[in-house]
């Protein structure tokens, strides 16, 4: 299950769809770890794939973290405080709760993750450099996205192009 706000854009490869427009059966871009290896140490066991939305449940989300990144035109992403994202130091990937994100963190997006897994030394890696973090309190309309079960364990999907872990 992944909690997202109603305006969050979910990657459907090559496009995206707002969370409020998702319905059961929509295919979204996701990452999975093979069921026989449930450790997070072996990144080569991850693969980029598509997953099916099994259920979408309306909910209220307490508080949100707004992260800003980009160049002259700052882009923003809203995350529930218990969302888990991937950060990088360009050598390793680390899971971090949204409420632990700080200015200067490098968040993993879809392009970084795909290129990181290729392990090609000729590819330059660019992560999302966080320039501002704001914690906003309150209740906000959102959704719990439940992914279909399969032979593999779902690791996460891309929300506003940032990796968000599936909270099983």
- pLDDT tens-digit series, residues 97-106: 999 999 999 9
pLDDT at 43: 44
State mean pLDDT over 89-101: 92
Residue 163 scores a pLDDT above 50? yes
pLDDT at 152: 60
Residue 141 scores a pLDDT above 70? yes
State mean pLDDT over 150-166: 81
What value, to the nearest 5°, has the Cα angle with vertex 48 and ends 42 and 52?
A: 120
> Residue 50, CB half-sphere, CA atoms under 13 Å: how many?
11
Domain of 119 in residue numbering reads as: 2-165
pLDDT at 45: 46
Distance CA 4, CA 122 (A): 35
- pLDDT tens-digit series, residues 111-138: 888 788 776 667 788 888 999 999 999 9
Number of domains in the chain: 1
CATH assignment at residue 145 = 2.170.16.10
Beta-bridged to residue 66, according to DSSP, are 78, 134
- pLDDT tens-digit series, residues 7-25: 999 998 778 999 999 988 8
What value, to the nearest 5°, has the Cα angle with vertex 18 and ends 17 and 19?
A: 115
Cβ neighbors of 139 (< 8 A, separation 6 or more) are: 60, 61, 62
Please check whether residue 107 is in contact with residue 122, taking contact to mean a CB–CB distance below 8 angstroms.
no
Distance CA 110, CA 162 (A): 7
- pLDDT tens-digit series, residues 31-86: 776 544 445 454 444 455 678 889 999 999 999 999 999 766 788 999 999 999 99
pLDDT at 79: 95
Helix H or strand E encompassing 84? strand 84-88
Looking at per-residue confidence, does 150 or 2 come out higher? 2
């Amino acid at each position: 299950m992944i909690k997202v706000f109603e305006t969050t854009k979910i990657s459907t490869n090559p496009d995206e769809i707002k969370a409020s427009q998702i319905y059961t059966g929509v295919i979204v871009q996701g990452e999975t770890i093979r069921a026989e290896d449930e450790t997070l140490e072996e990144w080569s066991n991850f693969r980029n794939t598509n997953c099916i939305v099994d259920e979408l449940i309306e909910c209220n989300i307490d508080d949100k973290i707004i992260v800003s990144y980009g160049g002259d035109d700052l882009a923003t992403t809203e995350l529930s405080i218990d969302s888990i994202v991937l950060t990088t130091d360009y050598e390793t990937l680390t899971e971090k709760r949204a409420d632990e994100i700080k200015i200067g963190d490098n968040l993993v997006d879809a392009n970084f993750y795909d290129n990181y897994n290729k392990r090609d030394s000729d590819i330059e890696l660019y992560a999302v450099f966080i320039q501002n973090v704001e914690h906003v309190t309150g209740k906000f309309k959102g959704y719990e996205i439940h992914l279909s079960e399969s032979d593999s364990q779902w690791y996460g999907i891309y929300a506003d192009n940032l990796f968000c872990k599936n909270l099983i």
